[in-house]
Amino acid sequence: MKLRTWLYCFLAASSVAMTAVISYGHPGSPMTAGMSVGAPDIKSAGSMTFGPDGILFIGDSQGAAVFAVDLDDTTKDSSSDKVDVIGLDKKLAAMLGTTPDNVFINDMAVNPISHNIYVSVSRGRGPDSMPVLMRVTKKGAIEEVPLSKVMFSKTVLSNPPKPDAKTEWGEPERPMTITHMVYSGGELFVAGLSSEEFSSSLRRFKFPFKDDPESTSLEIFHASHDRYETKAPIETFMTFHANGQPVLLAAYTCSPLAIFPIADLKQKKMLRGTTIAELGGGNRPLDMISFWQNGKEYVLISNSNRTLMRIDPADIDKAQPLTTGVKEDYQTAGVKYVSVAITGILQLDNLNDKYVVVINRDMETGALNLRSIQKDRL
Amino acid sequence: MIRSNGKYLASVIVFFTLGCVIITAQQHSQSKIEIKLIRNVETVVEASGIDESALRKLRDSNLPQSALTKIFPVTVGALPGSGEVTPMLGDYTITNDSIRFKPRFPFDPSQQYSATFDLKTFAQLCGEELYEGRDDLIRLVFSLPKSADSVATTITNVYPSGDRLPANQLRLYIHFSGPMSFGEAYQHIHLFDESGKQIERAFLIFDQELWDATRERFTLLFDPGRIKRGLRSNGDLGLALIPGRKYRLVIDKEWRDGAGQPLGSSFEKTFVAEQPDRNKVDPEKWDVEAPPESTRVPLRLIFPRPLDHALLESAISIFDPEGKPVSGRRELCPGETEFRFTPTDSWKGGKYTIRIDTALEDLAGNNLRGPFDVDLSQQDELRPDQKYAIIMFSTLPKQ
């Protein structure tokens, strides 16, 4: 009898403990607080970035929301191997039961802990386009990452562009609600467009998500257009440093490079950034990373209409603000860059100590390949 | 004699029956494996006719889905082709007598697929001796049958509907009967001149294309660089449309709708280009046909030149003698030169206000504020920045 009593007590106690664990997420990670298990209602899987503990943030421009998903992919990888997948679009299309022209790769992000490569995809066109999350493993195997039963939380973006809104150039604004995201110091920075008058916005969400995000409207001097702009969205950005100060380094369409001190972002509702370079008109910067080569740090930017660009941080420190326009189309100004002779880079991220990984359209064969490039060759 | 014959007969019957049973049993194991597409609530591909005990062994061995993909891969395309073909994602279920594959994403009606049952791999993985030594590949190439009631999407209208357009025509609206796909619009739109030659670079191309929210209305812009006086394009290429000449707009039926199906038919519009229109829209020149009071006869506004179909839908509002907005039905007559407004309630007696958004444009993009194409060197007339223009009318006396 006594034994039975003990047994019941034990069962009761462990049930309580289990409930506590389930409510508060993984026993190991306080970052999953506020998450619950289910199927996130993602309408479009776009820009992605990793947060702490392998948590993946997925930006949903159509649904005007950001999802934080715990993919349980936290096994540390210390290798420095490369990964290559030839014909990535063909393989993705075959797996998704369609043809390559019906599959759109939106973004790529490498899990900094496991080094698995995540790819956000749209399957199909038209109103039935479906979001899919895929993963390329270190062995080059492609898998779907099922999202029907995961630990996740969601935050909603207020004032996204209206579904019919168009930019000055006639492009629909809604898909640019979220253009890029970066997690840093307990906050998720989200760049994109809003429906406010100064439409280029940078939102900041504390993570784990709470109820009020803060946001700042941004203005920069656009040297190719020779005017101050508030409507061009940031294409890509990252946290960096200039003269010892933490800054956001941001690249815009057509294509200014600007810095915003992070301390100012936290205090001001409207901020004018310092334009430090004009990378050349008629171009969209696509991705930006920092990487180390022979003990020295560099910034690397990939572009829609130019080669990879490599920038020395010492030049960023010395940069003078640009406030006058360039005289001719396509002219560059400000911070120098080295044109690394690699083109067709559609996605770029750090893979490990030795390699960056890219999704690259081969100019000669037309193939879309995922490939690793050695950092000491950049 | 009969009795011994009876015993003999009985034995023959017994052996015969036994023999039949044995033969039948063997035939059952060697019965044809076949693959078919099953369309119920869900669409699945099924391989049936497989030996039941072999299937039982497969089920019990609890192989992962990736192994089942090796036995029964389903791939995109009519033939598996040589070398590596990546199989489709999906779920495999083993029933009593079949293996079923349900694709992760629905089969695309415009695609062909191959489903292959690899007997050799099956035999290896389930350790079934029955199929040992056989290396058949049983294959089905299929596509979704077109359902009887699927109607092709068609082009319902192209605006402007008239057959005379100014040489500096700015926009065309193409209306479809259902949602369309995106990403391939411009390759299906062609403009030909009188001699049948295709006119290059007549239209502006946007990567994102210009659709309304339901993807049933496509906006096609003529390249205004060719139209705006003084910009580079006009200098090099000249206007796409030359006054006095005849043109043919052709839209291919290969343009796929949201379900991946081509249109029901191609579409053609023939028109003649007139002198470019560089005058602002002037409501003072409109013919206002006022309705009689106490009736619901429509108010008619007749324009000397056609106006933009899409903008007309929302640019005109009516207010009663007390300044309250009047609700009613708006109608555009073919040719877009007449606008009709039928009120929900009868017209009162008195003076009504017609409020026109100054952004209302004609076919060449001129609006109420000024022409589309402003000659800055001759800025004799500053464009007023007012949002609305007003014209008044009085209802006719009761008849």
Residue A373 covered by a domain: no
- Which of A99, A127, A130 is facing B215, going by the closest CB pair? A127
B136 three-state secondary structure: coil
For every residue of A21-81, DSSP letters joined together read HHHH--TT-GGGTT-EEE----S----EEE-GGGEEEEEETTTTEEEEEE-----------
Residues 6+ away with beta carbon under 8 Å from B204: A170, B221, B222, B223, B224
Asked if B206 and A97 come within 8 Å (Cβ–Cβ), the reply is no
Residue A366 covered by a domain: no
Establish whether this prediction's ipTM goes over 0.90: no
CATH class of domain segment(s) B283-374+385-394: mainly beta
How many C-beta atoms lie closer than 10 Å to residue A2's C-beta?
6
pLDDT recorded at residue A286:
96
A218 against A16, higher pLDDT: A218
Q: Looking at the complex, does the CB of residue B113 fall below 8 Å from at least one CB of chain A?
A: yes
Model confidence band, residue B179 (pLDDT cutoffs 50, 70, 90)? confident
A340 three-state secondary structure: strand
Q: Can you tell me the mean pLDDT for B376-387? A: 57
Alpha-carbon span A348 to B346, nearest angstrom: 66
Which of these, A376, A340, A341, lies nearest to A356 by C-alpha position? Answer: A376
Residue A128 covered by a domain: yes
Mutation target for A interface from B44, B86, B144, B217: give the one with most A CBs within 10 A. B86
Asked if B210 and A175 come within 8 Å (Cβ–Cβ), the reply is no
Query: By the 8 A CB rule, do B116 and B73 touch?
Result: yes
Distance of CA A349 to the CA centre of its chain: 10
pLDDT at A243 over 60: yes
- Which of A99, A142, A144 is facing B76, going by the closest CB pair? A99
Comparing B53-57, B201-205, B228-232, B369-373, the range with the smallest average pLDDT is B228-232
B377 against A293, higher pLDDT: A293
What is the total count of domains within chain A? Answer: 2
Kindly report, residue by residue over A44-66, the tens digit of the pLDDT. Answer: 999 999 999 999 999 999 999 99
Asked if A93 and B182 come within 8 Å (Cβ–Cβ), the reply is no
Which residues partner with B222 through β-bridges?
B203
Residue A358 covered by a domain: no
Alpha-carbon span A95 to B69, nearest angstrom: 11
Residue A177 covered by a domain: yes
Residue A22 covered by a domain: no
Out of A124, A139, A156, a domain closes at: A156
pLDDT recorded at residue B376:
55
- Which of B89, B90, B213 is facing A164, going by the closest CB pair? B213
Where exactly are the structural domains of chain B? 32-142, 155-274, 283-374+385-394
Q: Looking at the complex, does the CB of residue B182 fall below 8 Å from at least one CB of chain A?
A: yes
Q: Looking at the complex, does the CB of residue B311 fall below 8 Å from at least one CB of chain A?
A: no
Q: Do domains B32-142 and B155-274 have the same CATH topology?
A: yes
The DSSP element (H or E) to which B14 belongs, if any, is: helix B2-29
Are A328 and A180 within one domain?
Answer: yes
Which of these, B254, B177, B256, B146, lies nearest to A126 by C-alpha position? Answer: B256
Q: How many residues does chain B have?
A: 399
CA distances from A92 to A131, A361, A373, B115 (A): 13, 15, 22, 18
Out of A132, A156, A180, a domain closes at: A156
Sign of CA dihedral B321, B325, B326, B332: positive
Asked if B258 and A128 come within 8 Å (Cβ–Cβ), the reply is yes
CA distances from B80 to A62, A124, A321, A328 (A): 36, 22, 59, 53
Query: By the 8 A CB rule, do B108 and A97 touch?
Result: yes
pTM of the model: 0.65
Kindly report, residue by residue over B25-43, the tens digit of the pLDDT. Answer: 444 445 578 888 888 888 9
Which chain B positions have a beta carbon within 8 Å of A128's beta carbon? 258-259
Domain with A333 in it: 159-341
Kindly report, residue by residue over B119-135, the tens digit of the pLDDT. Answer: 888 888 877 677 776 77
Nearest CA in chain B to A141: B86
Are A232 and A321 within one domain?
Answer: yes
What angle do helix axes B52-60 and B119-126 make, rounded to 10 degrees? 60
Q: Can you tell me the mean pLDDT for A11-31? A: 53
Amino acid letter, A173: E
- Which of A99, A166, A170 is facing B111, going by the closest CB pair? A99
pLDDT recorded at residue B273:
94
Mean pLDDT rounded to a whole number for chain B? 84
pLDDT at A20 over 70: no
Alpha-carbon span B109 to B259, nearest angstrom: 7
Kindly report, residue by residue over B295-345, the tens digit of the pLDDT. Answer: 999 999 999 999 999 888 889 999 999 999 999 999 998 889 999 999 999
Which of these, A31, A100, A18, lies nearest to A72 by C-alpha position? Answer: A31
pLDDT recorded at residue B180:
85
Mean pLDDT rounded to a whole number for chain A? 88
Kindly report, residue by residue over A191-213, the tens digit of the pLDDT. Answer: 998 887 667 888 889 899 987 77
Strands A274-278 and A285-293: unpaired
Architecture of domain B32-142: Sandwich (2.60)
Secondary structure letter of residue A125 according to DSSP: S
Q: Can you tell me the mean pLDDT for B158-172? A: 92
pLDDT recorded at residue B47:
93
With vertex at residue A100, the alpha carbon angle to CA A97 and CA A102, rounded to the nearest 5 degrees, is 75
Are A318 and A207 within one domain?
Answer: yes
Asked if B213 and A163 come within 8 Å (Cβ–Cβ), the reply is yes
Residue A209 covered by a domain: yes
Alpha-carbon span B271 to B167, nearest angstrom: 11
Q: Looking at the complex, does the CB of residue A174 fall below 8 Å from at least one CB of chain B?
A: no
Alpha-carbon span A232 to A227, nearest angstrom: 12
B98 three-state secondary structure: strand
B354 three-state secondary structure: strand
Residue A148 covered by a domain: yes
Are A268 and A256 within one domain?
Answer: yes
Alpha-carbon span A240 to A225, nearest angstrom: 26
Which chain A positions have a beta carbon within 8 Å of B108's beta carbon? 97-98, 102, 124
Are A75 and A152 within one domain?
Answer: yes
Interchain CB contacts (distance < 8 Å): A and B: 77
Domain B155-274 has CATH 3.40.640.10: no
